[in-house]
A and B are shown apart, each in its own frame.
Chain A
Amino acid sequence: MKVLVPVKRVLDYNIKARANAEGSAVELSGLKMSMNPFDEIAVEAALRLKEAGHAAEIIAVSCGVTACQETLRTAMALGADRSILVQTDMELEPLAVAKLLRQLILREQPGLVICGKQAIDDDSNQTGQMLAALLGWAQATFASRLDFTPGASRVEVTREIDGGLETLSVALPAVITTDLRLNEPRYATLPNIMKAKKKPLETLTPQALGVDVTPRLQLLRVAEPPPRKGGVLVSDVAQLVDKLKNEVKVI
Chain B
Amino acid sequence: MYDYRAPLRDMAFVVKELLGLSTVSRLSQHEGYAEATDELFDAIQEECARFSQEVLSPLNKIGDQNPARMETGRVLTPPGFKTGYEQFVAAGWNGLTAPVAFGGQGLPNLMGAPAEEMWHAANMAFTLCPLLTRGAIEAIHTVGTPEQRQRYLPQMVSGHWTGTMNLTEPQAGSDLAALRTRAVPENGHYRLTGQKIFITYGDQDYTENIIHLVLARLPDAPAGVKGLSLFIVPKYRLNSDGSIGPANDVRTVSVEHKLGIHASPTCVLSYGDEGGAWGELLGEPHRGLEIMFIMMNAARFSVGVQGMAIGQRAYQSALDYARERIQGVPLGMKSAAPIAWHPDVKRMLSSMKARLEACRALSYYAGQILDLALGEPDPHQRAQAQARSDLLTPIVKGFCSESGLWVANEALQVFGGMGYVEETGAAQCLRDARITTIYEGTTGIQANDLVGRKLLRDQGEMVRSLLTEIKAFLPELNHPAVPGSLTQTMAHVLGLAEQSSLHLGKTALSGNLPQCFGVAVPYLHLMGWLVSGWLMARSAVVAARKLEAGTQEPDFYQAKIATAVFYAEHGMGVSTSLHRIVVGGGPALDGMNPDQF
What is A's interface to B at a CB cutoff of 8 Å? 29-30, 32, 34, 70, 73-74, 77, 187-194, 196-197
Contact = CB atoms under 8 A, between A and B. Distances in A.
B552 A188 contact: no
Given A74-B43, A77-B43, A194-B40, A189 B92 contact: yes
8 contacts: A70-B42, A70-B43, A74-B43, A74-B46, A187-B50, A190-B47, A191-B92, A196-B43
B44 interface: yes
Given A187-B55, A190-B92, A190-B93, 8 more contacts: A74-B46, A187-B87, A188-B47, A188-B91, A189-B90, A190-B95, A190-B105, A191-B105
Contacts of B256: none
Nearest to A29: B552
Nearest to A32: B8
Contacts of A74: 43, 46
Contacts of B46: 34, 74
Interface residues of B, number: 23
B583 interface: no
B429 interface: no
Contact of B91 (A30, A189, A196, A197): A189
Given A187-B87, A197-B39, A30 B552 contact: yes
Given A189-B90, A193-B40, A77 B47 contact: yes
Closest 9 CB pairs of A and B: A190-B92, A189-B92, A189-B91, A188-B47, A191-B92, A193-B43, A187-B91, A30-B553, A187-B51
A197 B40 CA distance: 8
A194 B35 contact: yes
Nearest to A77: B43
A156 to B, nearest CB: 30
A191 B47 CA distance: 12
Interface of B: 8, 35, 37, 39-40, 42-44, 46-47, 50-51, 55, 87, 90-93, 95-96, 105, 552-553
A190 B552 contact: no
A79 B90 CA distance: 14
A56 to B, nearest CB: 24
Nearest to A186: B91
Nearest to B49: A32
B83 to A, nearest CB: 13
Contacts of B39: 73, 197
Nearest to A78: B47
A73 B47 CA distance: 12
Nearest to B37: A197
Which of A191, A193, A197 has the most C-beta atoms of chain B within 10 angstroms of its own C-beta?
A193
Contacts of B95: 190-191
A194 B552 CA distance: 29
Contacts of A193: 40, 43-44, 47
B158 to A, nearest CB: 11
B47 A187 contact: yes
A194 B87 contact: no
A196 B46 CA distance: 14
Contact of A73 (B43, B87, B92, B552): B43
A169 to B, nearest CB: 35
Contacts of B47: 77, 187-188, 190, 193
A191 B93 CA distance: 9
Nearest to B87: A187
B396 to A, nearest CB: 25
A194 B105 contact: yes
Contact of B96 (A73, A77, A190, A197): A190
A188 B40 CA distance: 13
A187 B48 CA distance: 9
A192 B37 CA distance: 16
A187 B84 CA distance: 13
Contacts of A34: 46
Looking at B39, B40, B44, B46, the one whose CB has the most chain A CB atoms below 10 A away is: B46
Question: Which of A34, A74, A77, A188 has the most chain B CB atoms inside 10 A of its CB?
Answer: A188
B73 to A, nearest CB: 34
B515 to A, nearest CB: 50
A191 B55 CA distance: 19
B111 to A, nearest CB: 11
B433 to A, nearest CB: 27
Contacts of B90: 189
A74 B39 CA distance: 12
Contact of A190 (B37, B42, B44): B44
B551 to A, nearest CB: 10
A196 B43 CA distance: 10
Nearest to A197: B40
A197 B42 CA distance: 12
B97 to A, nearest CB: 11
A187 B88 CA distance: 10
Contacts of B43: 70, 73-74, 77, 193, 196-197
A193 B43 CA distance: 7
B556 to A, nearest CB: 8
B157 to A, nearest CB: 12
Contacts of B105: 190-191, 194
Nearest to A191: B92
Contacts of B55: 187
Contacts of A190: 44, 47, 91-93, 95-96, 105
B59 to A, nearest CB: 15
A194 B105 CA distance: 8
- Which residue, A34, A190, A193, A196, has most C-beta atoms of chain B within 10 A? A190
Nearest to B95: A190
